[in-house]
Amino acid sequence: MSKRDGQKTGSGKTAGKGGASPARGDLKVRVKTARGRSVSSQAWLKRQLNDPYVAAAKEAGYRSRAAYKLTELDDKFHFLKPGTRVLELGAAPGAWTQVNIARVKGGKIIAIDINPMEPIAGATVLQLDAESAEADQILFEAVGGKVDVIESDMASPATGHRTTDHIRIIALVEAAFSFAERMLTPGGAFVAKLLRGGGEHEFLALLKRRFETVKTVKPGASRADSSEIFVVALGFRPAPEDPSPPTSSS
């Protein structure tokens, strides 16, 4: 549930707060041969070679081009501040984690993914299914309380069927919001990936009842041919019936 576009650099280092988004450009790199590749694989490779964000991410030391999506969102809405406690869902390969580390100096970052992820200094990385029964207890103990920001870049493997993919990501973002109900501090922020498809409207209406401000954004680093958008919800308002996170067993 964490597949994210872009290539991992293989570096465990944390990229700096800089890394300005590259200008869109036509690099016109050609794939010389399609031998042994499917048509879809060839198209993917061509797109990667001609994507300025892929090249910029590699140069900046980010694990994927997705870093530029989060930097653009934070530059616009300023939810990552020094001392912020962040819970990141669907963290692999770790580009968002690198951005979080650079921007929340003195804070705490818990990055989880159902898939393995190389450690990053400055964050607690856990291989964990966010929808598992034990997730709440494990995360509460790792965080030591509630968090100020919950981020979700979770995604299911694409099926190529738009309706199916849309339903799956709505289910994941709803699971992410359930963490917000239990673990987000009053006034906190929720940032999550969505796919356009119609079903997102009901979810956005729910967020508007629980947050002071709700905005949808398509960052420049999000490919134009993708239905991907991001929701940024600020000013969490807990409901009186919101469940409390579990108490530590220690």
What is d(CA 153, CA 68) in angstroms, rounded to the nearest whole number? 13
Q: Using alpha carbons, list the distances in angstroms from residue 56 to 50, 68, 72, 117, 131.
A: 11, 9, 14, 22, 34
Q: How many helices (H) and strands (E) does the chain have?
A: 7, 7
Which positions are annotated as active-site residues?
193
Q: Which residue is associated with the tokens 């994927």?
A: 64
Contact between 143 and 109 (Cβ < 8 Å): no
Residue 138 CB coordination number (10 Å): 15
Strands 228-236 and 108-113, by their bridges, are unpaired
User: What are the structure tokens assigned to 124, written together?
Assistant: 């607690």
Q: Which of 138, 149, 129, 132 is nearest to 88 (CA)?
A: 149
Contact between 182 and 241 (Cβ < 8 Å): no
